[in-house]
Structures are given as C-alpha cells and as structure tokens.
Amino acid sequence: MAEKMLELQDITMQFGGVVAVNNLSMHIDQGEIVALIGPNGAGKTTAFNCVTGMYRPTNGQVKFEGKVIVANYPQGKMKSMYAGENKGKYKHEVAPTPDKITRMGIARTFQNIRLFKTQTAFENVLIATHLHRTSNPFTATFRLNYKEERQMRELALSMLEMVGLQDSKDELATSLPYGKQRRLEIARALATKPKLLLLDEPAAGMNPQETHELGQFIVDIKNRFNLTVFLIEHHMDLVMDISERIYVIDFGKLIATGSPDEIRENQDVISAYLGVDEE
C-alpha cells in the first residue's frame, strides 16, 4: 500500500577514475523517514546530488512517484573509462536542471550551508516561493500581482515562525548563529512546498540538546506537511531516533540496509565505522 516515493536504480557516479557512488539502489516510501549513513567521503552527498540534478549520474536512473526523472548511461569518454556495473542496462538520458526537479516536489538543504548572503532571513525564504508564481515580469514589475505577492510574504513568514525564527526575520541570514542558519535552510526548502525533503547533515555543528530538538522538529514537520524525508546524518542518536529505515554506504557501495536495530547490530557496519570517529 505504501507507495514508492523515490527510487534509485543502479546509480553510479564516476568522477574521472573515481567511482564516488557505485551501483546504488534504494527506495523511500511515501511518508517514511529514511537515513543514508556512511563514513566521510562515502558518497552520500554525491548520491543526493544525483537525485536533485546537480550531478548527472554516469549510469542508472532515479524515479520519483513512479516516473523516471533522471537517467543516464556511460557516454563519450566514459564509454571506455566506465568502471561501474550494469553497463548497457540503461539506454536513454533524462537530465533535467535542478530547478525542474525542485518544481516536481523535491527540496533540499546543503551540507555546507548555502544561504543567500546579502539577503535577510525573511528574504531567503521569500525567494523560495518564487517558483509557484503565476505572475510574469510585467505584472510583477507593475505590482498587478499584489495579491500573490501578499500570499508569498504570508507563506514565507509562516515558515519562519514554524522554525522559530520570526524574531530574526530582518537579520542578515549569514549573521545568524549556526543552528539558526540550519533551521533557516529548512524553512527555505519547505517554502518550495515539497513532497520529498532531502536533508544533508542538518544537525552538523549542533550540540546534543539542539540535535534532539531538531529530531523532534523533523518528525513534526513531516507529519504536519505530509512529507517524506531523506536524511544524511552523522549524529547516530538522531538517525536511530527518527528513521524508520537506514541505508549504509561505504566507498560508494551499499553495505547494509534495515531498521535502526538491525543496523546497530550489523557487523559490516560496525567494521566500516571502526576507527572512524563519529563527529
């Protein structure tokens, strides 16, 4: 009954000779919180970038709500260089730009916070309402869209209130403390009205208390907006706390998948993490 929201099929991303993501297949059902974990440099962010259109995978395809949104096969000089699997399985290319994927209903945050640095917190969120506009440059310039403009502002403000940043709304985004910047990024992503939310290390740099609160917050917005959440995170407490299923990758390859309890006990995962400091 649970519908597959997102499905990665044999996704391989090769940079020159480096295979950063190696034949990764996974799926996320509607309404789930699923985590992708792995040691530093395992290829987690790269996998995200393949879903959001920032990178074009070398091979494989991504489906969203049953529709192929990204697909590729080794072409050009990759024909001979390709070091991954399933060569020849995919025969067509689908490569929309990231903005198109966001418009389909996939929003993301960035591991290395990317706020609009000359803009206030409020303006940062407001910009993310632009994609649902019905105005054109003419009607917008001459304010014939004033009703829509008001709705955009109301939506942006309500998103800020939800992440508890209404009091900082007129502050420059980059002057906010780290934790607030992370929450602002989430508010900005939500303002695009996504169905699927991708969070790349949302708790990075947070203390245990903040991390715990963030976990509650993620569950909260998931329920409130009927979201599906795909999460990359190094804080194991957070991951174990809120995810329904976990995928573990190491050197770009899937090494384990299962419920938090299964992953905790998995020998491969333990050895992959052995000697690797948790941040």
Partner 1 sequence: MKTNKLSWMIAFVLLALMFAGLYVLEQTLPPTTMLFTILKKSVIYALIAVSMNLLNGFTGLFSLGQAGFMVVGAYTFAILTIPVQHRAMVYQYYDGGIVQFALPAALGILAAGAVAAVFAFLVGLPVLRLKSDYLAIATLGFAEIIRAFIQYEGLGPLTNGSNLLRRFPTFTGIIPPFAIVAFCIFIIVMLIHSTYGRALKAIRDDETAAEAMGINLFFHKQLSFVISSFFAGVAGALLAMYQGSIQAASFKSSMTYEILLIVVIGGMGSISGSILASFLFIASSEWWLRFLDNELFIGTFKVPLLRSGFRVVVFSVIIMAVVLFYRRGIMGDREFNLRFLTRGRSKAKERKNG
Binding site for ligand ATP (CB under 6 A): 15, 18, 20, 38, 40-46, 111
Q: Which is nearer to ligand ATP, 39 or 215 (CB)?
A: 39
Choose from partner 1, ligand ATP, Mg ion, none: what does 42 bind? Cβ within 5-8 Å by kind. Answer: ligand ATP
Q: What is the 3-state secondary structure (H, E, C) of 66-107?
A: CEEEEEECCCCCHHHHCCCCCCCCCCCCECCCHHHHHHHCEE
Q: What strand order describes the sheet that includes 253-258?
A: 106-108, 196-200, 228-232, 33-37, 245-250, 253-258
Q: Which is nearer to partner 1, 178 or 216 (CB)?
A: 178
107-126: which residues touch partner 1 (CB under 8 A)? 107-108, 110, 114-119, 123, 126
- CA 82/CA 91 separation, integer angstroms: 15
Give the x-and-dash track for 167-206 against partner 1 (CB under 8 A).
---------------------x---x--------------
Asked if 45 interacts with Mg ion (CB under 5 A), we say yes
| Rg of the chain on CA atoms, in Å | 20
- 4, β-bridge pairs: 29
Residue in 34, 128, 196, 232 binding partner 1, rule: CB under 8 A:
128
Residue 180 identity: K
Choose from partner 1, Mg ion, ligand ATP, none: what does 119 bind? Cβ within 5-8 Å by kind. Answer: partner 1
260-279: which residues touch Mg ion (CB under 5 A)? none
| Cα distances (angstroms) measured from residue 83 to each of 13, 74, 79, 134, 251 | 10, 10, 9, 46, 14
Residue 18 is given by DSSP the state: E
Measured from the CB of residue 39, what is the shortest distance to ligand ATP in angstroms?
A: 7
Residue 17 is given by DSSP the state: T
Residue 176's closest CA among 218, 123, 102, 235?
123
The interface region with Mg ion, picked from 29-37, 42-50, 180-188, 248-256 by CB under 5 A, is 42-50
Residue 178, both tokens: 């780290």
Q: What contacts 136, CB < 8 A, 6 or more positions away?
A: none
Q: What contacts 77, CB < 8 A, 6 or more positions away?
A: none
Bridge-based pairing of strands 196-200 and 59-64 is: unpaired
The interface region with partner 1, picked from 1-9, 66-74, 94-102, 258-266 by CB under 8 A, is 94-102
Asked if 46 interacts with partner 1 (CB under 8 A), we say no
Measured from the CB of residue 46, what is the shortest distance to Mg ion in angstroms?
A: 8
Residue in 25, 30, 86, 111 binding Mg ion, rule: CB under 5 A:
111
The interface region with partner 1, picked from 10-18, 97-105, 224-232, 267-275 by CB under 8 A, is 97-105
User: Which residues are at the interface with partner 1 (CB under 8 A)?
Assistant: 52, 54, 97-100, 102-103, 107-108, 110, 114-119, 123, 126-131, 133, 135, 137, 140-143, 145, 149, 152, 188, 192
